[in-house]
Amino acid sequence: MQYKRRFGYDRAMDTQRRLQGAVALVAGATRGAGRGIAVELGAAGATVYVTGRTTRARRSSMGRAETIEDTADLVTEAGGIGIAVAVDHTVPGEVAALAERIRTEQAGRLDVLVNDIWGGDPLTAWGTPFWAHSLDDGLEMQRLAVWTHLITSRYAAPLLVERGRGLIVEMTDGVDDRYRGNLYYDLAKASVIRLAVGQAAELRDRGVAAVALTPGFLRSEAVLDHFGVTEATWGDAVARDPHFAASETPRYVGRAVAALAADPDVLRRTGQALTSWDLAREYGFDDVDGRRPDWGAHFREHVLRETG
Would you call 199 helix, strand, or coil by DSSP? helix
3-class DSSP string for 133-191: CCHHHHHHHHHHHHHHHHHHHHHHHHHHHHHCCEEEEEECCCCCCCCCCCHHHHHHHHH
> For the CA atoms of the chain, what is the radius of gyration?
18
**Diameter of the chain measured on Cα atoms:** 54
- Our CA angle for 200, 51, 90, nearest 5°, is 70
Residue 254 host element (H or E) = helix 250-262
Closest CA to 255 of 179, 169, 145: 169
Q: Alpha-carbon distance 173 to 180, whole Å?
A: 9
Q: Say which DSSP state 216 is in.
A: S
Partnered with residue 114 across adjacent β-strands are 26, 169
Angle at which helix 250-262 crosses helix 276-283, to 10 degrees, equals: 50
List strands edge to edge, sheet with 47-52.
81-86, 47-52, 23-27, 112-115, 166-171, 208-214, 273-275
185 part of the active site = yes
DSSP E strands, 153-289: 166-171, 208-214, 273-275
Would you call 294 helix, strand, or coil by DSSP? coil
Identify the active-site residue in 9, 49, 185, 283: 185
Q: Alpha-carbon distance 36 to 220, whole Å?
A: 9
> Which residues have a catalytic role annotated?
185
